[in-house]
Amino acid sequence: MPLEIVTIPCLSDNYAFLAHDAASGDTALVDAPEAAPILAELDKRGWTLNHVLLTHHHWDHVDGLGAILEKQPAKVIGAAADAHRLPPLDLQVREGDSFDIGGEPVQVLDVSGHTDGHIAFYMPNSAVVFTADSLMALGCGRLFEGTPPQMWASLSKLAALPDDTLVCSGHEYTQSNAKFALTIDPDNAALRDRAADIDRARAAGQATVPSSLALEKATNPFLRAGDPAIQAHLGMENADLAKVFAEIRARKDRF
């Protein structure tokens, strides 16, 4: 049985996620932006927290942790590389490690770029990956610490997961990401359709996260550095893909 995934809006535009195994009752939280909405969701469902998975050290992904653990003690898992600047960890993990939630394996992927030490959590049996501020819906995180080649490698690793993977990312930035994406990939019909869907969803107050990896591969310019139309649009035909990615990221920073 795949895990049940619950999306929890936090702060102004963050998302946290619960992954729940009905058979064992095991529940994991991915990121802790804010305690109140997360505790309320656990209460509403009558779920007990067992694990907290932290993707990276930024305050808007960890600040709620202390207050959550006071009410719902749980085992905290995060990157060994970031142990010095994350809240205290019960388990330090790195690329290639795996652990279990409700008997289901969780694989750790290093997706550095936004920060050094940012990790993603991939659950192959449930076809879901928690990417926070690495791969985002129609976007990717700003490169605060990493280099473009590093982020390109991280995004390529995520893009290699199965197409039906659900991408649970950390922020509701999709509508502004869509406006930017259309400046890079204006003739992409799938992107134009998605942008219209996003406008409708936002007008109705709906979340645009999570999304599917297939949709990201078809529409997210940060995964599409190899696309001939995008390369032509940028005047970078046959350029090194990390360089094309770097140009797209630089334009986004100025957008």
**231 neighbors 239 (Cβ within 8 angstroms):** yes
Of 47 and 173, the one with the shorter C-beta distance to Zn ion is 173
- Cβ proximity to Zn ion: between 20 and 58 the closer is 58
Task: At 139, give phi and psi (nearest 5°).
Answer: -155, -170
- Name 45's bridge partners: none
Binding-site size for Fe ion (CB under 5 A) equals 3
Residues 6+ apart with CB under 8 A from 17: 5, 6, 7, 8, 29, 30, 31, 130, 168
Tell me the window of 52-60, 65-73, 213-221, 232-240 that interacts with Zn ion (CB under 5 A).
Answer: 52-60
133 touches Zn ion (CB under 5 A): yes
Helices and strands (H, E) in the chain, number of each type: 9, 14
- CB-nearer residue toward Zn ion: 168 or 182: 168
For Fe ion, which is the closer residue by CB, 20 or 57? Answer: 57
Among Zn ion, Fe ion, none, what binds residue 51 when CB lies within 5 to 8 Å by partner kind? none
**Among 191, 225, 231, which Cα is nearest to 211's?**
191
Q: Does 133 bind Fe ion (CB under 5 A)?
A: yes
Q: What's the CA gap between 152 and 134, in Å, rounded? A: 10
Q: Is 58 in the site for Zn ion (CB under 5 A)?
A: yes
Q: Does 60 bind Fe ion (CB under 5 A)?
A: yes
State in angstroms the smallest separation of the CB of 244 from Zn ion: 24
Report the interface residues with Zn ion, using CB under 5 A: 58, 133
Report the interface residues with Fe ion, using CB under 5 A: 60, 133, 170
